[in-house]
Structure 1
Amino acid sequence: MRVSAHFLVLEQLPGTKGGQAVTDDSQRFTTMYDECRQRVWAYVVSQAGRQIADEVVSETFAIAWRRFDDIPEPALPWLLGVARNVLRDNIRAEMRRESLAGELRAWTEEDHADQVAERLAVMNALASLNPDERELLILVAWQGLTPRDAARVIGCSAATFRVRLHRARKRLVQAMKTAPAVRPQTRVRNLSEEWS
């Protein structure tokens, strides 16, 4: 299904003939698509929910095809930046916040009781942050990007990103300390140490 979706994108793009692009570019694009698609999709889901993820990912890779020669190595931070811009063009911050909370709740329904309580506390604390702070934490903690790569996604310097990330982490820890679902302060302290 992944590869067929890729070829659907190619068929819709100018400069292709019946879904066949220049062989080298097509091969390189296919490799990039296979390596990055799932992480771009997960990023979009984390920001806006599953209901628009496929559309945003398709548009992101359509832009990537049109600007293929401009994509730096590694491609993932650039693709995530494009996906971020597509999202900002299509939805408002409030819709992203509601969708993220719904998606995260759905992921915890089958967990054990303690894990559910802990994850709900993290979700509630995360949902209490503003969308920009939440995005910083998601890029580093869930997407696994380095601060330098995440700074490229956001469009700021690595130093600025680190300052913003530090502030977002402090706000998350403070929100978790005041959250009624998780009382033990040691877990909050451990979470903050894990992200340091």
Structure 2
Amino acid sequence: MEDSEDSRRRFTELYDENYRRVLGYVITRTDPHMAEDIVSETFVVAWRRLDHIREPALPWLIGVARNLLLKQRESGFRKRALVDRVAAMTTNDDLVAWDVADHVVERDSALAAIAGMSENDLEVLSLVMWHGLAPRDAAKVVGCSSAAFFVRLHRARRRLAKAIENAPASRPRRHAASRVADKATR
């Protein structure tokens, strides 16, 4: 790497010359809050790879920003897809067995709990619960040992249970027959 002072000077020039243009590119592709994060991460990568950046630097910087946007978008798609799949699992039989209001509250609480989970927890849970992989096979997918995967799975399940339990709108579920009996005794 270049001399420390030269590196700082070069990076400062790079930043001053390109920040607004990289931000302009990113802000047209995501919300303003996320755009700031993406641009910041772009310049972190630029600092780390400063010796590899050729002039003009803008195409390289926009390429990094584009890759970060794609990763962010893929992460969001995976999370939304999982929440949508859980939502789609609700059937008409569920509505017959449960009071509609209770069902909506419980479903919203569960969806909120899932939406609030980390991508890593969602991946671990979905590999086992939705894709039906044995934990040993799922460990190969994520690239860790079986023992490490079992720990991740245990922790993810525990965090999901706690998130559902702590959901503000969560109420105990009662079977429709017991609600009918309660109404009949009034």
TM-score bracket for the superposition, by shorter chain length: 0.3 to 0.5
Whose Rg is larger?
Answer: 2
